[in-house]
């Protein structure tokens, strides 16, 4: 769930968004990475990401190609993000270093 507040700052309307369960999601990801036995078999999907909704929206704003209408563009963008260290906080398993 995302909560929004709006207020006027220096004559401009400013939106602030907050996701109370964000740290819980990221903490759970870190715990899962510490204990590889917690997730026995994710081979059907490789490393998996758990991204808080607010972070997901911010990522799409920073990297619009993650939400591209063209499937090939969108897939390439997610693969690039997935292979980058920027995805590390969202991983539930350590990145397979051999893949990048």
Residue-level pLDDT at 20: 77
Which ranges of the chain have pLDDT less than 50?
Answer: 41-46, 98-100
| Max Cα distance, the chain (Å) | 54
Residue-level pLDDT at 33: 75
Residue-level pLDDT at 96: 60
Residue-level pLDDT at 39: 56
Query: What distance in Å separates the CA atoms of residue 60 and residue 20, rounded to the nearest whole number?
Result: 20
What's the burial of 62, exposed, middle or buried (CB within 10 Å: 0-12/13-18/19+)? exposed
Residue-level pLDDT at 94: 67
Name the residue ranges covered by the structural domains of the chain: 22-90
Residue-level pLDDT at 27: 84
Q: Which residue carries 């990401």 as its tokens?
A: 49
Residue 96 near residue 47 (C-beta atoms within 8 A): yes
Residue 59 near residue 51 (C-beta atoms within 8 A): yes
Query: What distance in Å separates the CA atoms of residue 74 and residue 76, rounded to the nearest whole number?
Result: 6
């Amino acid at each position: 769930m995302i909560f929004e507040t709006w207020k006027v700052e220096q004559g401009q309307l400013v939106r602030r968004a907050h996701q109370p369960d964000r740290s819980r999601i990221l903490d759970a990801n870190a715990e899962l990475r510490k204990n590889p036995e917690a997730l026995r078999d994710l081979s059907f999907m490789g490393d998996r990401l758990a991204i808080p909704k607010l972070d997901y929206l911010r990522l799409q704003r920073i990297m619009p190609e993650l939400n591209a209408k063209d499937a090939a563009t969108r897939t390439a963008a997610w693969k690039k993000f997935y292979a980058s260290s920027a995805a590390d906080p969202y991983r539930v398993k350590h990145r397979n270093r051999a893949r990048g």
